Amino acid sequence: MFPVRFPQSVVDAERVRLGRSGFDGQMQQRPSAAEGEIFRRGHLQLLPADQLPACKQTIISLDTAYSEKQTADYSAAVVLGQHDRGFTVLDVVKARLAFPQLVEVVEQLAATWSPVAVLIESKASGASLVQQLQQHSTLPVKAIQVDRDKVSRANACVPTWEAHRVFAPAGASWLQDFTDELFSFPKSVHDDVTDAFTQALLYSIQVKPGAGLLAWYEQQLAALKAEPNAAPSSDGTEPLRRPFWLMAERRGGKVSSL
C-alpha cells in the first residue's frame, strides 16, 4: 500500500525475518494464516455422507472443561472412524456443559456410534469423568496421560493429514466450526475440538484395527481348530506349541487370572 517506503524487496525481507505465521499476523493483519497454521487447507477429504468409506471401528475422544461458565473453555467430543483409506471425522460436539450433562452426552454418543474406546484426558474434570464412567457404565473408557504439549501432538498428526487420509462428511452442521478452529490452531481462541481430534487421531494411528491381544488369541484359536496339534507361528514358518492356557482348559484345570 506504500511502495515508496516499503518496496517489494523490503516486504520480502520482512517475510523472511518474521516467518510465514508472523508475517501474516503483522503485515496481513490476520491472527492466523489464511491457508492454515499447522493443519493446512486443501488436505481434508470432503465427501457426501453416503460416499464416505465404511468404518471398521470408531472411537470417541473427549477434551473436558473445568466448568460451564460462559467464560470457560468448551467441552468437546470428536467421533473418529477408521477404515482402509484412513480416518473419518463422523461427529463433533462442542458445548459448555455441567458434569451430569457431560456424562449424558458421552452415553448418547456411545449409544449411537458403538465405540471400541472412549478416550478421556485424565486431568481435572476428565479424571472425574473417567472414574464416573468406569464405575457406572460398561463403556470402554481409556484414560489418556498426556506426555507432550498441544502443538507437539498436533504436529505429530500432520503427516497423516497432509497424506489426505482424513475425511469428513460435506455439509455436516459442525463442519465449519471444526475447520475454523483446526486451521487457526494454535492461534485460535479455543482449542478444545482440536485437542480432542489430535488425541483421537494419534490413538488411531498407534492402534490398528485387529492388532490387539484379543485379535491375536482369536487367530490362534482358529489355527488350533484347523490343526489340533499345532498352530502356525506368526510368520507362518513353523508350528507353535499349544498355548498353556488352552492345555489347562482341556485338562479340566483353571486358567490363571494372570
Give the CA angle between residues 30, 36, 38 to the nearest 5°: 120
For 64, 65, 120, 129, 185, the CA distances from 124, given in Å and listed in that order, are: 8, 8, 11, 9, 23
Position 66 scores a pLDDT of: 67
Question: What pLDDT does 251 receive?
Answer: 44
Q: How confident is the model at residue 257 (pLDDT cuts 50, 70, 90)?
A: very low
Give exposure, 41-72, as e/b (b: 16+ Cβ within 10 Å): eeebbeeeeeebbebebbbbbbbbbeeeeeee
**Cis before 186 (ω within 30):** yes
Q: Which long-range contacts (CB under 8 A, 24 or more apart) does 8-13 make?
A: none
Please give the mean pLDDT across all residues of the chain: 80
What's the mean pLDDT in 144-163?
90
- Structure letter (DSSP) for residue 51: G
44 CA to centre of own chain? 15
Q: How confident is the model at residue 218 (pLDDT cuts 50, 70, 90)?
A: low
Cell of 50: 453416503
Looking at residue 159, its pLDDT comes to: 93
> Each residue of 79-105: pLDDT tens digit?
999 999 999 999 999 999 999 999 999
Q: Which CATH architecture has domain 45-206?
A: 2-Layer Sandwich (3.30)
Check if the beta carbon of residue 78 is closer than 8 Å to that of residue 158: no
| pLDDT more than 90, % of the chain | 50
pLDDT at residue 209 tops 80: no
State the pLDDT at residue 30: 54
**pLDDT, mean of residues 61-66:** 88
**196 vs 194: CA distance, rounded Å:** 5
At residue 90, the pLDDT reads 98
- Report which of residues 61 and 73 the model is more confident about: 61
| Sequence-separated contacts (24+) of 2-8 with Cβ below 8 Å | none
pLDDT at 125: 80
pLDDT at 132 over 70: yes
- Pairing of the two strands 117-121 and 231-232: unpaired
Quick one: pLDDT at residue 9?
Answer: 81
Average pLDDT over residues 104-115: 96
- Inform me whether the pLDDT recorded for 247 exceeds 80: no
For the record, the C-alpha cell of 84 comes out as 482402509
The residue ranges of every structural domain in the chain are 1-30, 45-206, 213-250
Query: Which phi and psi (to 5°) does residue 103 adopt?
Result: -60, -45
Q: Is the pLDDT of residue 236 over 60?
A: no
